[in-house]
Amino acid sequence: MRRSLRTVLAPAVTSLLLATTVVTGSAAPAAAETPDCPWVDSDAPVEQRVQQLLSRMTLDEKLDMVHGAAAPLQFVGPTYAGAISEIPRLCIPQLGLTDGPAGVGNGHTGVTQLPSPMALAASWDDDLATRYGATIGKESRGKGADVALAPTVDLLRDPRAGRSFETLGEDPHLTGELASAQVRGIQGEGVLAQAKHIAAYNQETLRNLPANDAKVDQRTLQEVYLSPVQDVVDAGVASVMCSYNRLNGVHACNNSYLLNQVLKGQFGFEGFVTSDWFATQASHAAANAGMDLQMPGGCHYGPRLRKGINSGAVTTATLDGMVSRILRPMFQFGLFERDGGGSPDDVVTNPDHAELARQVAQQGMTLLKNDDELLPLGEGTGSVAVIGDAAGKDVIGSGGGSPHVIAPRIVTPFEGIADRAEQAGADVAFDDGGNAAKVAADADVAVVAVSKWSTESKDNDDIALSDQDTKLIERTAESNPNTIVVLNTAGPVEMPWIDDVAGVLAAWYPGQEYGTALASVLFGDSEPGGRLPATFPVSQADMPTADHERFPGGSYDEGLGVGYRWYDREGIEPQFPFGFGLSYTTFAYSDVQVRGDGAAGTTVSAEVTNTGDRAGSEVAQLYVTHPESDREPPKRLEGFQRVALEPGESRRVEFELDDRSLAHWDTDGEQWVRSAGDYPVAVGGSSRDLPLESEVSVAETTPVSEPTPPPPPHAPEGDDPALTKAGNVLRCPAESLYSAVLGGISLFGLPPGKQAEETPDNPTADG
């Protein structure tokens, strides 16, 4: 199937791409100290340097700063995803942008294939997320790039979404926290982070076409989809990417409410907004709506924007504002003084980064079922059968599309288990599925690896495993009661076989160190550290977006009922709830305490004790319930903390509330408000296991944000009138063609890129 798609698509894609110029990705030449460029190596405040440089720029130079240099080959690479050209006359270096959220993509080799963001989210670990971001930052910089197109802050609204693996799960708070930690990590390495994609970009079907219109009420938009964006803005993110979809009828990259009023006004974002690739669909209206940088080409923001400036449709002040927003972080991050450094040919992966990949994979692995404490495998395990091509040649380390990263080599589940079993003196057998029943019957324990592919550019039809994988699990389980299923999937899948197997471990897309991490968890060298960042429903029919009108239809009328908030509100029992994950030890919660009146700084704390006989970590979670008049879902996650405990050890975890923790969006006043009333708070180990309860009382209703500012002048809401005219297509034919092709591709997808430089394989007969 995949091979035939490649055959069908290859000629079309190649001919399109041949019409483009490749961004070479060479590092910028050193912006040497020169008397002509007093803003370089200057101690003057950034703002002064920006103004100094701006005053010397011609109109052409300003226009060159607000669009990409060429249409690149980012899916076939290796190349940068895009670049702004250098302007040597003014000592402005090239600005190279590279994907993405799971490590350096765009076809580069010599990089570390990190576990997917979903796997990172399952770790519920800020510190790990900062180190994950730092690894992306280091490797992007090592390749000579200046901007990392990461993190992804889109929520998992429907697990069928092609990019589900790239999200940090279904909850705005968890996403906001982990994305902010990544921003700090990336930017700490001197690389600009670009959070993407705003807003309400939750599907691939018909992307970038007018029909892909997310109809979201303002309250849901603010509380759910934009909340993580506000968090990364607060964390100082340098840039933000606007998305392919329309938002309430207006294209996101052309949406003045979203970009001018909310992002730049309400959130106070000072960096630049970049269009997603080929998502610029207007010239004057986009500039006036607050989009600063067109990527990857320049028809809209080149000749057409010049006309707008000349005719007065776009003011010079607007263009100056756009250029300044790009120059400002370039100064702040020292890009004018950087001496080139990395190059696309450099090998940037190293053992430390591989070790980080292993830690994230291991800590994200989420144990969902473990009958009779079958795991961890002990000394009594004499033999293990490893079953399924997903444990060998069909292993998935990384999902598809722009977040795809090529590993030097993936440690397959079979390799990892075989290595570890040898140390334990256990025998290991492999079967690709043909003889599973026999091979499983002969072993003490059977580990069945199954997978499901997910990629940018195409949504999946369902959340079911293939018939082949389902039968493989059933056949194995019939012949061995000690069957453990390892899920190598983007996110939630249905498990009609759940009662027949002894164990289930969600491994997600775990990156290049998969097998090592898996073996270490199975044999108990480390614990399964993960907790679910997304609800696993019993059936797809239970999902909030099961209705076609909602997905991919674009109606967001489930409102605030996203993820567990839906299951709670509708009283639906999930297969496994949000926040859930088993440990090899047990924990108890006691002594909840609340200090404060609900304002920022209020704390909720509780004692967590490891009541088992192994060391282990728990993710303590705080959920808040609003007074009924707020019309919120039954509970919202407002705090979490990972805590490592020795057997018998207790520790107090403390959650500090911020301004928005108890607030809701008041649509009439267009601001966040904390209502007077009692807010039950609950603490525990998952959204459905909350043994401790208390209450925060708020005495007075208080607005906790300024209202969204009104639209600025020169920012008419709506698309460029010319957009609808054939003339617009004729003026920017390449952009228009690409833009339409993206929608077409979403109907059948793109072939998957290679997983690793060294192709993964099944073990040979002699092991």
196 binds ligand BGC, rule: CB under 6 A: yes
Nearest-10 crossing angle of helices 316-332, 46-56: 130
| Assigned token pair, 431 | 């079967």
Minimum distance from residue 152 beta carbon to ligand BGC (Å): 7
Minimum distance from residue 564 beta carbon to ligand BGC (Å): 26
Using CB under 6 A, count the residues that bind ligand BGC.
Answer: 9
Minimum distance from residue 168 beta carbon to ligand BGC (Å): 15
Minimum distance from residue 243 beta carbon to ligand BGC (Å): 8
DSSP state at residue 712? P
Q: What angle do CA 505, 760, 5 make, to 5 degrees?
A: 95
Among 37, 63, 81, 252, binds ligand BGC (CB under 6 A): 81
- Side by side, the strands of the sheet bearing 664-666 are 664-666, 671-674, 702-703
| Assigned token pair, 71 | 């249409």
- Over the window 384 to 403, marking each residue x when it contacts ligand BGC by CB under 6 A and - when it does not, the resulting string is ------------------x-
Task: Classify strands 250-251 and 246-247 as parallel, antiparallel or unpaired.
Answer: antiparallel
Closest Cα partner for 692 from 582, 588, 579?
588
| Through-space distance between the first and last CA atoms of the chain, rounded to whole angstroms | 29
Among residues 276, 431, 459, 568, the one annotated as catalytic is 276
Q: Which residues of 663-681 are buried (b: 16+ CB within 10 A; e: fewer)?
A: bbbbeeebbbbbbebebeb
- Nearer Cβ to ligand BGC (226/619): 226
- Nearer Cβ to ligand BGC (82/561): 82
635 binds ligand BGC, rule: CB under 6 A: no
- Over the window 58 to 77, marking each residue x when it contacts ligand BGC by CB under 6 A and - when it does not, the resulting string is ----------------x---
459 binds ligand BGC, rule: CB under 6 A: no
100 binds ligand BGC, rule: CB under 6 A: yes
Element (H, E) at 181: helix 172-187
| Assigned token pair, 260 | 């001018």
Q: What is the phi/psi pair of residue 96, to 5°?
A: -100, 130
Number of DSSP helices (H) and strands (E) in the chain, helices first: 20, 25
366 binds ligand BGC, rule: CB under 6 A: no
- Nearer Cβ to ligand BGC (575/739): 739
- Nearer Cβ to ligand BGC (276/494): 276
204 binds ligand BGC, rule: CB under 6 A: no
Minimum distance from residue 336 beta carbon to ligand BGC (Å): 25
Count other Cβ atoms within 10 Å, centred on residue 18: 8
277 binds ligand BGC, rule: CB under 6 A: yes
Q: What count of Cα atoms within 13 Å lies in the side-chain half-sphere of residue 493?
A: 28
186 binds ligand BGC, rule: CB under 6 A: no
142 binds ligand BGC, rule: CB under 6 A: no
Minimum distance from residue 201 beta carbon to ligand BGC (Å): 8
- Nearer Cβ to ligand BGC (149/653): 149
C-alpha distances (whole Å) from 432 to each of 144, 391, 450, 548 are 42, 8, 11, 36
Minimum distance from residue 738 beta carbon to ligand BGC (Å): 10
Among 99, 146, 432, 638, binds ligand BGC (CB under 6 A): 99
Determine whether 276 is an active site residue. yes
Q: How far is CA 162 from the centre of its chain?
A: 12
228 binds ligand BGC, rule: CB under 6 A: no
Judged by CB under 6 A, the chain residues 145 through 174 that form the site for ligand BGC are: 149
| DSSP string over 118-131 | HHHHHH--HHHHHH
Kindly give, in sequence order, each residue whose CB lies less than 8 Å from that of residue 355, ignoring residues fewer than 6 positions away: none
Q: Contact residues for ligand BGC (CB under 6 A)? A: 74, 81, 99-100, 149, 196, 276-277, 402
Active site residues: 276
